[in-house]
């Protein structure tokens, strides 16, 4: 079982050497690989994760940050689908605005062994009076993985940025002539 410790790190950056202090706070939750989404200015929701190496954590918690206090409370757990309850692994990511993308392997139910099922878990946060947790499920991908173009190791992508965050001098444009002939 994972230790339920919270650590508060304080880093002071004076003109000399930085000073780092660490305090162990009581009252944490025992979890690893959980998904976290922000639902308010000082409120976060922790979904899933693992309690130990092979035991999924089927609970949700709300974390509220105040000045020098962290409050962790239980939150209503979604009505998990049987597929989510019984799968051995799950994965996902924060989508922002209180939403989490949750994926589970499709196992052998499909002809394509690499198929996954994806769910969007909405944890509220879009409106202050909305506290409901909802799930929606997508269809599995039936696209043949051999038809998709793989990314090359050297390719870089910028997924989000403000339009004014780049100066014209800083932009490195892609030039096909820079690539070596790999044939």
pLDDT on residue 115: 81
β-bridge mates for residue 32, sequence order: 50
Cα gap 70→26, rounded to integer Å: 10
pLDDT on residue 101: 93
pLDDT on residue 38: 92
Cα gap 174→182, rounded to integer Å: 17
pLDDT in tens for each of the 183 residues of the chain? 667 777 778 888 888 888 999 888 777 888 888 899 999 999 999 998 888 877 888 889 999 988 777 888 999 988 999 888 888 888 999 999 899 999 988 765 555 567 888 999 998 754 443 334 445 554 444 444 444 444 444 344 434 434 444 445 545 555 555 556 555
pLDDT on residue 25: 76
H or E stretch covering 86: helix 82-86
Residue 125 tokens read as 């946060």
């Amino acid at each position: 079982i994972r230790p339920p410790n919270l650590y508060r790190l304080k880093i002071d950056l004076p003109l000399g050497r930085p000073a780092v202090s660490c305090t162990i706070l009581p009252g944490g939750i025992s979890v690893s690989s959980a998904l976290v989404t922000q639902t308010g200015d000082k409120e976060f929701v922790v979904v899933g994760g693992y309690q130990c190496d092979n035991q999924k954590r089927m609970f949700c918690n709300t974390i509220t940050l105040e000045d020098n206090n962290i409050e962790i409370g239980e939150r209503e757990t979604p009505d998990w689908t049987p597929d989510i309850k019984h799968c051995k692994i799950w994965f996902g990511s924060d989508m922002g605005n209180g939403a989490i993308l949750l994926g589970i392997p499709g196992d052998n139910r499909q002809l394509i062994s690499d198929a996954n099922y994806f769910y969007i878990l909405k944890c509220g946060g879009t409106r202050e009076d909305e506290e409901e947790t909802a799930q929606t499920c997508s269809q599995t991908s039936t696209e043949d993985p051999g038809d998709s173009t793989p990314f090359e190791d050297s390719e870089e992508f910028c997924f989000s940025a403000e339009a004014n965050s780049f100066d014209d001098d800083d932009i490195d444009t892609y030039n096909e002539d820079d690539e070596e002939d790999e044939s």
